[in-house]
Chain A
Amino acid sequence: MTVPPSRGVVLRLNGITKRFGQLTANDNVGFALHEGEVLALLGENGAGKTTLMNILFGHYTADAGTVEVFGEVMPPGAPGAALAAGVGMVHQHFTLAENMTVLENVLLGTVPLWRMGLAKSRGRTRLQVLSRDFGLKVHLDAQIKSLSVGEKQRVEILKALYRDARILILDEPTAVLTPQESDALFDTLRKAVARGLSVIFISHKLHEVMAISERVIVLRHGRLAGEVATRDTDRHKLAEMMVGAEVTLPRAEARTPGETLLQLADVSLSAEGRRVGLDGANLSLRAGQITGIAGVSGNGQAALADLVGGLATPERGEMRLFGQPVQTWSPRAALNAGLGRIPEDRHKQGSIADFSLTENTVLEGYPAPPFSSSGIMNWGKARHHAEEIISRYDVRCPGPDARIRLLSGGNMQKLILGRVLEAGPRIILANQPVRGLDIGALTYVQERLIAARDAGAAVLLISEDLDEILALSDVIHVISEGRVSPEFPRGSKTPAELGVWMAGQGFDHAA
């Protein structure tokens, strides 16, 4: 795929600068998007990608610089303008009405509500054409709430295409997708550019950027750090540009495990709401060992994490802790037993947004000395502890009194990691510990988990990223529809073989 110079510029950003108080989120950033190309916008969290897109859409007003769409300068701070000029955005978080059908969601906002009935039949025909042309398979009369995440994303893309978008911007589109769904998305994007659309693909996943884009723009600390044609670069060079230094991803070396600290024997848990249950799970967590749980999202990982984390108790089977059957089980009991837990969702479960860093660091440890005695908090000790974690775990923040909502995802995760590890846990539950983190933070978190293992902790690593599981785990289980596979030692199964189990097939042979 070469870029013929004749292809016109459809979108141009000129010298965009945006400051928030002391912070310069975008510093003189400029680039052009050509017709029919996939341009990747690469950068760590906090590099200024989202701010730039908000300026493009008029959600923020730039302090300097202009946005041109199809040669026309957009009025600053006017949200409708870019949309009207043919720019469509697919956000990470979908903006769909759950109780309406796909067709209604696409039409919503394009016609007055009282003409919805009439518009439906015309809309249906057009959508069928679009959905065929772009390979966006989705049932038009299905309710949004019955759709998978991948299907919802297709609806978002259809929405943009239906409104005659000629430029598509996708913000971290694969963060919520399975590998198969990502492949389908890439297929759609290729079809789109073949029809002359232009795509900006925002990501920090290097292999995806390499797979789909023609050109890469790298942002670092709000500045343009580089611009390269994808065919002239590789993952390593991109990572260097993004981080500003050479990067090596951590790999855990094999170790001899110690005694079994936590054991699940034939444990079952029924499904609850959207959470898949567990079906006769057997699992042993040993000292000095990382046990990886591989599997496609939504196959019982949440139930397993709830169980180990103290939020659920086994309905059948037995859980043994340090060789003793567990009698009472709750988050507090788990903490008292020496469990450290890194939750899947650091915003909903791991932190309280409007609490300060200090208040967040003692969220689990507050009931005991040194943070409190006889029900009276010792905020001085708590603050000191927060300062220690901030310096030891390299948490970039304004200080221990700042509200944690001001922190980036990576720094928030480092604080949670510090809170967990400083309590000296013997067993660590790490549920998606690096999801959404940039390479710097990701490497850091993984290294710390390996170090905790080397110091003798038993680590349960739940991740939907098979590469991460393979790189870190001493033993691997695959989870599928609530069933947990036998234990596979490091290197005993190829990724393809694990994939068969992830699809739920190996279990039948074993049974």
Chain B
Amino acid sequence: MRLEPVASQTLGRTLGFPAIALALTVLVASLLAMLAGANPLATLGLIVNGALGSKFAVLETLNRATPLIFTGLAVAVAFRARLWNIGAEAQLYAGALVTVLVGTRLGLPGPVAIPVMAMAAVAAGALMLLLPVMLKVRLGVDEVVTTLLLNFIMLLFISMLLEGPLKDPMGMGWPKSEALPRDARLPRIVDGLRLHWGFALGLISAVVVWFIQVRTTLGYEIRAVGLNPEAARFAGIPVRSVLLKTALLSGGLAALAGYSEVAGLKGNLTLDLSPGFGYTGIIVAMLALLHPLGVVVSALFVAGIFVGADSMSRAAEVPTYIADISLATALLFMVVAILMTRFNLVRG
């Protein structure tokens, strides 16, 4: 069995194989549900219902998708330049930390605090990724290792702060920070509906990133550096500076996930602010084939599975881990599907 490149990619091919991948994922999920002793169709129904079945469910899915849009964009931007940012989790927490610091310590009035917190968070996340990327371009240190390890350093650092200087005196001993003042929270898009402006910011970010990628010189440089750094350097593209700019952009986007979770949803900083949004962002970006607008779709899809599985496990006796397994399966099938859109499997 060998792979032979196809002469031209048709639309049917480009959409057909991912569709097959999704179908196979559903099949695997059904088998798992059967193993757990449940009716697979009913389980799937409960998941879909849990994700989309009511106004509340849809809003919950949109809320869950919001941080994933940001981390997915962060990963998509970085991976385009072949900059393997595995540290969106650390950048998210950097953004969340700075949001809380600015929001609770500076005493700014709300309308001022909301944009200032955002800018400070972006700066913090950008710097968080700048350091490992400086090490990469100056000394050749592998950014996979440094960004990954920074996740743990950041989490322990937050933990230290939450047990010490940032600990909420009114928190009854829980490791959590003071909450942001009411007027420094992101308002809801529509009164009475539990969906905050962070989601809209995510959509805007996706459009901006898409514009950067296809219409600006920076986007062109990022793609060139990702596809062939040697040719990019020969052509006079400043490869190092492009990588540093990519780092600022990617780190800033991931930090907005932390900002939006704190200022839009939770109001304070805790150690369980992110159940791995930074890592899930990698799945989101890969499922979207690194396309910024695709990230929105895939973030909604991933969030829907999580929310749906949560709700399903409350109703049926199937563990919520089925969501994690389904996503991992979807990712694997999708990687193969992407390959199949470009290559033919030839016997012999």
**Which residues on A are within 8 Å of B, measured CB to CB?**
20-23, 58-61, 76-79, 309-311, 330-332, 334-335, 341, 343, 348-355, 359, 363-364, 366-367, 372, 375-377, 379
Contacts and interface: CB of A to CB of B under 8 A. Distances in A.
Contacts of B233: 311, 331
B236 to A, nearest CB: 4
Contacts of B7: 20-23
Interface string B308-348: 00000000000000000000000000000000000000111
A74 B215 CA distance: 53
B142 interface: no
Interface stretch (B98-106, B173-181, B223-231, B284-292): B223-231
B73 to A, nearest CB: 20
18 contacts: A21-B8, A22-B7, A60-B4, A61-B348, A79-B348, A310-B236, A349-B234, A351-B231, A352-B228, A352-B232, A354-B227, A355-B223, A359-B224, A363-B237, A364-B236, A367-B217, A375-B217, A376-B217
Given A21-B7, A77-B346, A377 B217 contact: yes
A349 B348 contact: no
Contacts of A60: 4
Interface string B1-29: 01010011000000000000000000000
Given A77-B346, A377-B219, 15 more contacts: A22-B7, A76-B348, A309-B234, A330-B236, A331-B233, A352-B224, A352-B228, A353-B227, A355-B223, A355-B227, A363-B224, A363-B231, A364-B235, A366-B217, A379-B215
Contacts of B224: 352, 355, 359, 363
A78 B1 CA distance: 10
A375 B216 contact: yes
CB-based closest 5 A-B pairs? A77-B348, A21-B7, A332-B236, A331-B236, A363-B235
Contacts of B231: 348-352, 363
Nearest to B232: A352
A353 B223 CA distance: 12
A113 B54 CA distance: 62
Nearest to B224: A352
B234 A335 contact: no
B37 interface: no
B348 A348 contact: no
B346 A61 contact: yes
Interface residues of B, number: 26
B218 interface: yes
B157 interface: no
B80 to A, nearest CB: 12
A479 to B, nearest CB: 21
Contacts of B346: 61, 77
Contacts of A354: 227
Contacts of A310: 236
A379 B7 CA distance: 25
B56 interface: no
A431 to B, nearest CB: 11
A82 to B, nearest CB: 12
Interface of B: 2, 4, 7-8, 215-220, 223-224, 227-228, 230-238, 346-348
Given A352-B228, A355-B224, A78 B348 contact: yes
Contact of A348 (B216, B220, B230): B230
Contacts of B237: 363
Nearest to B219: A377
Nearest to B230: A348
Contacts of B228: 348, 351-353
Contacts of A379: 215
Given A20-B7, A61-B346, A331 B234 contact: yes
A60 to B, nearest CB: 8
Given A21-B8, A359-B220, A350 B348 contact: no
A388 to B, nearest CB: 19
Contacts of B218: 375
A350 B234 contact: yes
A372 B234 contact: no
A372 B237 CA distance: 14
B348 A335 contact: no
B157 to A, nearest CB: 36
A95 to B, nearest CB: 16
B207 to A, nearest CB: 15
B348 to A, nearest CB: 3
Nearest to B223: A355
A459 B294 CA distance: 48
A101 B212 CA distance: 50
A358 to B, nearest CB: 11
Contacts of B238: 332
Nearest to A406: B7
Given A349-B231, A359-B220, A77 B215 contact: no
A78 B348 CA distance: 5
Contacts of A348: 228, 230-231
A341 B220 CA distance: 21
Of B7, B215, B223, B231, most buried by chain A (CB within 10 Å of CB) is B231
B215 A376 contact: yes
B220 A366 contact: yes
A377 B236 contact: no
A225 B102 CA distance: 78
Contacts of A366: 217, 220
A21 B7 CA distance: 6
A425 B46 CA distance: 67
Nearest to A336: B236
A372 B215 CA distance: 9
A348 B224 CA distance: 12
Contacts of A330: 236
Most chain-B CB neighbours within 10 Å: which of A22, A76, A341, A377? A377
Contacts of A332: 236, 238
Given A363-B224, A372-B217, A58 B348 contact: yes
Contacts of A353: 227-228
Nearest to B238: A332
A58 B348 CA distance: 8
A379 B346 CA distance: 38
A77 B217 contact: no
Contact of A335 (B4, B217, B236, B347): B236
